[in-house]
Amino acid sequence: AQKITQTQPGMFVQEKEAVTLDCTYDTSDPSYGLFWYKQPSSGEMIFLIYQGSYDQQNATEGRYSLNFQKARKSANLVISASQLGDSAMYFCAMREGGILTGGGNKLTFGTGTQLKVEL
């Protein structure tokens, strides 16, 4: 079974509108972290936002917010007031395990969503 599922291969949004990118995950580990990355055409993966499994509140970073629904195992990214520069691939990723597991921040990625922001 896929650990990270992103069901939207491509999305369009008009400039200044909000958009939600879907992500569902699968893990039996009670301690995990969820990440969203942006990958422009240049190739670099840019960290956007992080949500820990024990965090009580949804994470927010500027125009990015994470709609974390633990019971449904979903971690959707919401981008408000879209800008042309937001056009890129967006990846949801998960780290399983927390303290004492060691092994670094091994991430499992989804297949990504290509977002295009239009005028």
Partner 1 sequence: ETGVTQTPRHLVMGMTNKKSLKCEQHLGHNAMYWYKQSAKKPLELMFVYNFKEQTENNSVPSRFSPECPNSSHLFLHLHTLQPEDSALYLCASSQDSSVSGRNTEAFFGQGTRLTVV
Contact call for residue 85 and partner 1 (CB under 8 A) = no
Count of CB atoms situated within 10 Å of the CB of 106: 11
Q: What is the DSSP letter of 38?
A: E
Of 65 and 112, CB closest to partner 1: 112
Contact call for residue 100 and partner 1 (CB under 8 A) = yes
DSSP string, 61-82: ETTEEEEEETTTTEEEEEE-S-
Q: What are phi and psi of 94, to 5 degrees?
A: -135, 140
Taking CB under 8 A as the criterion, which residues in 19-58 touch partner 1? 33, 35, 37, 42-47, 50, 52
Which residues of the chain form contacts with partner 1 (CB under 8 A)? 4, 33, 35, 37, 42-47, 50, 52, 91, 93, 95, 98-112
